[in-house]
Amino acid sequence: MTASSVPLVLSVAGASPGDLPLAAQLAARLGLPLLPEAINPRDVVAADALLLVCDGLLSLQQTGRGAPGPVAVEFGSAAMRHRRKGGHNELLGRAVGAGKRPGLTVLDTTAGLGRDSFVLADLGCRVLLCEREPVLVEMLRAALANAATGDDPWLREVVAKMRLLPGDATTVPAVELAAVDVIYLDPMFPARDKSSAVKKEMAVLQRVLASGSGSGSAEALLAWALQQDVARVVVKRPARAPVLAGRAPSHQLSGKAVRYDVYTLGPWD
């Protein structure tokens, strides 16, 4: 049995006494145990990880001494700001067709931590973020609200183009799908980063997904996406991975670490 397949014991905690009211609300909404006092995650032994509330933002933090750093939705982080200048953004933008038409709308079926959704919104797309794991939904909701009301005009402008749709993408109402031009899939695959610390940080996210509602079948999600009335479907894959479900794309855009398989289904108008 791998570590990611072991059920995760997850609790909700506040980083300070002032965070406890929101922590209590989240615990009740998610049906998770609440640690009644603010506590250092390193000192927790009754849970494998915490959904930690700190100043209105949420993070996943493994517990115990020597645990790696938290996993959070951080739209304004240094890493996200640096990514704006990288070629990876250009590749993702080309894959979805950013700029092909005004107000291009992308349905991100597996939003996760929202990083690709944020990049697409920064490129000018309108993005609908679907996420079925309740813990990630709460993390995304808090981060979007924080950015929308913060003092960074860039963040406010970008998140204004993003809208969270909790639940399975295949249940998105027809009225919402009617406005979608591109469906984007990023099936979760093991971390490729050579840093063991990064791998350990992302391991807690993988265990949350394994213990919760899960991400469903990527193959089934692709089959559903290809049946929709959209201009294209884009699938993010590891650079050397086989195509998903054996379905050959119309074309591919490859980088050093990732590849985008593009399925062209129709014209832009």
Q: Are residues 112 and 177 in the same domain?
A: yes
Domain harbouring 113, CATH code = 3.40.50.150
Contact between 93 and 232 (Cβ < 8 Å): no
Mean pLDDT of the 240-247 span:
94
Q: Are residues 153 and 167 in the same domain?
A: yes
For residue 206, being part of any structural domain is answered with no
* Joined tokens for residue 198: 């990064």
Query: Hey, which residues does 260 pair with through a beta bridge?
Result: 236, 253
**End position of a domain, from candidates 31, 48, 72:** 72
The DSSP secondary-structure symbol of 4 reads: G
pTM to 2 decimal places: 0.90
Mean of per-residue pLDDT scores for the chain = 88
What is the reported pLDDT for 87?
A: 60
**End position of a domain, from candidates 16, 40, 72:** 72
Q: Are residues 56 and 125 in the same domain?
A: no
Q: What is the radius of gyration, based on Cα positions, of the chain? A: 19
* Residue 111 to residue 186: CA distance in whole angstroms: 8
For residue 205, being part of any structural domain is answered with no
| H/E stretch holding 72 | strand 71-72
Q: Are residues 140 and 216 in the same domain?
A: yes
* Joined tokens for residue 219: 């193959």
* Residue 93 to residue 100: CA distance in whole angstroms: 10
What is the reported pLDDT for 152?
A: 95
Query: Hey, which residues does 236 pair with through a beta bridge?
Result: 260
* Residue 100 to residue 78: CA distance in whole angstroms: 29
Q: Are residues 231 and 101 in the same domain?
A: yes
- Over the stretch 165-204, which tens digit does the pLDDT of each residue have? 999 999 999 999 999 999 999 986 544 455 555 565 677 7
Q: Are residues 83 and 49 in the same domain?
A: no
In the chain, % of residues over pLDDT 70 = 88
Q: Are residues 35 and 123 in the same domain?
A: no
- Over the stretch 71-100, which tens digit does the pLDDT of each residue have? 999 998 888 887 776 666 889 999 999 988
What is the reported pLDDT for 1?
A: 41
What is the reported pLDDT for 136?
A: 95
What is the reported pLDDT for 102?
A: 87
* Residue 81 to residue 141: CA distance in whole angstroms: 20
- Confidence check: pLDDT of 43 > 90: no
152 φ, ψ to 5°? Answer: -100, 110
What is the reported pLDDT for 131?
A: 95
Q: Are residues 136 and 229 in the same domain?
A: yes
Q: 3-state DSSP call for residue 199?
A: helix
206 φ, ψ to 5°? Answer: -60, -35
The DSSP secondary-structure symbol of 241 reads: S
* Residue 66 to residue 189: CA distance in whole angstroms: 25
Domain that holds residue 31: 3-72
How many domains are there within the chain? 2
- Over the stretch 213-225, which tens digit does the pLDDT of each residue have? 544 589 999 999 9
Q: Are residues 44 and 161 in the same domain?
A: no
Q: Are residues 57 and 124 in the same domain?
A: no
- Over the stretch 93-144, which tens digit does the pLDDT of each residue have? 999 999 888 889 999 999 999 999 999 999 999 999 999 999 999 999 999 9
How far the first Cα of the chain sits from its last, in Å, is 50
